[in-house]
Amino acid sequence: MKDLVGIKEISRQEIEEILNTARAFKEVLTRDIKKVPTLRGKTAINLFFEPSTRTRTSFELAEKRLSLDVLNFSVSTSSVVKGETLYDTLKTIESYNVDYIVIRHSASGAAKFVADNTPACVINAGDGTNEHPTQALLDAFSIVEVKGKLDGLKIAIVGDIIHSRVARSNLYLLSKFDTEITFVGPPTLLPSDVPSNVSISYDLKKGIKDADVVMLLRIQLERQKGAFIPSLKEYFHVWGLKGDAFSYLKKDAIVMHPGPMNRGVEISSEIADSPRSIILRQVTNGIATRMAVIYLLTRREV
Ligand code: CP
């Protein structure tokens, strides 16, 4: 593959190869010297048109651990604010003969547009409401670390599914394995075109009580055009995962959140900071997973 634009386009076998490679890189990250010379002499640029903490920092660390030269492109101090287009920004960057472009953009399809217009390897770090493939891969890696497998698991995805690229990438990934997926949330935040392999629950307790994995999602106010929920306070009251869930969740169920999480909206501190939560493990695994993706891509020769 030259690019990783979405999980939709890749096979179960390719996903397993990425997870196995990430496992090897995770071992590298436990060493005193957490760096390999694998991609020395090559260059990566991180092109973030939207804010990010986890994805941006873990891509940068992954690139540095692989000995890449790294450029971080800051939109707010670039000529984008003077009206330069995505295409012209891309062509400018390409003139430096970069090998990898990591892009986050508010427009669905932006990563594919960039991938189609450059010989460099392009990795989608989140495009609008479309996909966030490396998040789904690090989520899968984290689940396998804790549960030992994906096949046979019941996974509940809870919250603002309609606006979530994380939910879409996880749906595509988990559907390539033998998983039982349930979307849980208020009707206004669930998509109308739910695939036939996915169950729906409008009741938090019923939707998650049998789950092995509970994936919470951020309420994406910045993408909501209209009133999807009465208020954040009411959302927390009805849909937020709170301490009472300990009484009905399966004893070995794990709780995930891609971040940034809103405490007191999607999740209480009691749950977020409990041993059930693997939220910080997800963050840690972002580095090895992204190292694996970068390592496995191959630039098109021109
Ligand atoms: N999960 C995720 O994409 O977080 P950031 O927006 O902080 O990168």
Q: Is residue 4 part of a domain?
A: no
Range of lowest pLDDT (75-79, 156-160, 182-186, 262-266): 75-79
Same domain, 142 and 276: yes
For residue 255, the enclosing domain spans 133-282
Q: Encode pLDDT of 69-96 as tens digits.
A: 999 988 888 899 999 999 999 999 999 9
Q: Is residue 1 part of a domain?
A: no
Same domain, 28 and 142: no
Q: Is residue 7 part of a domain?
A: no
Q: Is residue 73 part of a domain?
A: yes
CATH number at residue 177: 3.40.50.1370
Full-model pTM:
0.96
Same domain, 170 and 108: no
- 199 ligand 1 Cβ < 6 A: no
Residue 226's pLDDT is: 66
Ligand 1 pocket test, pick from 48, 49, 54 with the greatest ligand atom count within 8 Å of Cβ, gives 54
Q: Note whether 249 and 204 are within 8 A (CB).
A: no
Q: Encode pLDDT of 163-217 as tens digits.
A: 999 999 999 999 999 999 999 999 999 999 999 999 999 999 999 999 999 999 9
Same domain, 278 and 288: no
Q: Encode pLDDT of 226-253 as tens digits.
A: 678 888 999 999 999 999 999 999 999 9
- Catalytic positions are 54-55, 82, 104, 132
pLDDT at 132 over 80: yes
Same domain, 24 and 66: yes
Same domain, 42 and 106: yes
- 43 ligand 1 Cβ < 6 A: no
Q: Is residue 238 part of a domain?
A: yes
pLDDT at 221 over 80: no
- 286 ligand 1 Cβ < 6 A: no
